[in-house]
Amino acid sequence: MTRLPFRFLLRILRPCGLLLATVLAVASGQPARASADPQVVLTTWYRLVLELVRHTPTYSPPVAARAFAYLGITAYEATASGNPGMTSLAGQLIALTPPPARNAGATYDEGLVLQAAMAASVANFFGNTGPTGHRAKAALQDKLDKSAADGVAPEVAARSRAHGKAVADHILAWSQTDGGAAITNMGFPVTWTPSDQPGHWVPTSRIVPQQAPLLPDWGRNRPLAMPDGSSCPLPPPPPYSEESGSDFHAEAVEVWQASRTLTAEQREIAAFWSDDPMLSPTPPGHWISILLEIADRDRLDPTRTADALARLGIAMSDGFIGCWDAKFRHDLIRPVTYIRKTIDAKWEPLLITPPFPEYPSGHSTQSGAAATVLTAIFGAHFSFTDSTHADDGLPPRDYPDFWTAANEAAISRLYGGIHFRAAIERGLEQGACIGAHVNALRTLE
């Protein structure tokens, strides 16, 4: 029933540059000269995952960040098991035991190892996607299975597949005990009683499930690189006050005034980083997209790519755990609620207010963590182009370094009218703290 797989591969492999040639040759029926490049296998799966995140209903940003972390760790460990220059994350990440080792002296095909590992991991994390996602997964697995095995001795292929799957299964089993594996009702509690105290979060949406906040227990999940969800605590936000002239009121006035004087570029920035669930690859997917674009531009090898994907994924997943821990400790009111009550009853923010407490900003924490890790990997003055939303009609944006992008992502939430400044600035600081835990990991020599 699958039609035109060649065109399908063209679409998703387009960003992979010259590495495309091998797989396309196989897909078009030409004789293959070698097995698939592991880099093509890795980045091709990730590009499908960016779509699956967008089209799988449970994939809110925290859930997406978790999946990116485990997918990255799987790719890293599958690669590291055959590369003495890579240090396993076992014993470094919380509760991760050593994955199955390769048979000493035996030959493995790296493309097939990664193919088997990624196929198993994606099948698990996106087992709940819709019919179209299942078709896409099956089509990709079929084509990459065939192309990766072409020219590989059968016993090597079998051994490589078994090892890749064994690594994936090991990571999957570990992931099941972190507290985030099961998502029910899209992550919203069926019942919830908001605080009746002033200054606390109340629902801002007219969608029924969102009368409860998203994933209130996510901060209790087992992190990966930091000890626990409260490892990077925040100072409290300005004391709640409805008095004009108070620090809290001043922050609200800033958001309200900003919304009335937004420039065209500020509106563009708000939209560019909005990354709404089900309408985008989510905020963590946005940073993964940035990394994939860099990997393509700079022709990164699979070792560096797997390392960067793992560390970025870990940073963002821990970022959401830390952020959610803080959000539900502080349980702060959203700007739309406060401003309508005290400043402007008819005020409408530019963006849709997310259904959970305000402080700190999730975008800010995870972007701070991402910038910290990517700066450690690529350097402090590493320029790049971000084309994440080109297909959605938002033009690419250029950045001189990762922190400029992170700061822009963070302030976009003030432009959008959904965060106060303290949530943004303290969120970035929290992200930097979480990123430092990730940077302490030993990966590549």
Using CB under 8 A as the criterion, which residues of the chain lie in contact with another protein when the complex forms? 1-5, 7-8, 11-12, 51, 54-58, 127-128, 130-132, 135-136, 139-140, 183, 185-186, 190, 206-209, 278-279, 391-394
Q: Smallest distance from the beta carbon of 116 to another protein, in angstroms?
A: 20
Q: Smallest distance from the beta carbon of 288 to another protein, in angstroms?
A: 17
Tell me the CA distances in angstroms from 62 to 26, 93, 338, one per residue in order. Answer: 37, 18, 26
Cα distance between residue 257 and residue 250, in whole Å: 10
The CA-CA-CA angle for residues 398, 41, 293, to 5°, reads: 0
Nearer to another protein, 280 or 361 (CB): 280
Instruction: For residue 167, give both structure tokens.
Output: 């690594």
Cα distance between residue 130 and residue 81, in whole Å: 33
List all residues 6 or more positions away from 173 whose beta carbon is below 8 Å from its beta carbon: none
Nearer to another protein, 5 or 236 (CB): 5
State CA 55 to chain mean position distance: 14
CA atoms within 13 A on the CB side of 217: 13
Q: DSSP assignment, residue 118? A: H
Q: Smallest distance from the beta carbon of 220 to another protein, in angstroms?
A: 22
Q: Smallest distance from the beta carbon of 350 to another protein, in angstroms?
A: 11
Nearer to another protein, 52 or 428 (CB): 52
Q: Smallest distance from the beta carbon of 176 to another protein, in angstroms?
A: 17
Nearer to another protein, 207 or 380 (CB): 207
Nearer to another protein, 46 or 402 (CB): 46
Q: Smallest distance from the beta carbon of 5 to another protein, in angstroms?
A: 6
Q: In which residue are the tokens 């994936």 written?
A: 168
Residue 40 CB burial class (10 angstroms; 0-12, 13-18, ≥19): buried
Residue pair 387/302 in contact by the 8 Å Cβ criterion: no
Q: Smallest distance from the beta carbon of 129 to another protein, in angstroms?
A: 8
Nearer to another protein, 223 or 416 (CB): 416
Cα distance between residue 63 and residue 214, in whole Å: 11
Cα distance between residue 332 and residue 238, in whole Å: 10
Q: What is the dihedral of CA 245, 247, 249, 251, to 10 degrees?
A: 130
Q: Which pairing describes strands 397-399 and 384-386: parallel, antiparallel, or unpaired?
A: antiparallel
Nearer to another protein, 31 or 131 (CB): 131
Q: Smallest distance from the beta carbon of 184 to another protein, in angstroms?
A: 8
Q: Smallest distance from the beta carbon of 26 to another protein, in angstroms?
A: 16
Nearer to another protein, 35 or 210 (CB): 210
Q: DSSP assignment, residue 104? A: T
Nearer to another protein, 132 or 244 (CB): 132
Q: Name residue 310's amino acid.
A: A
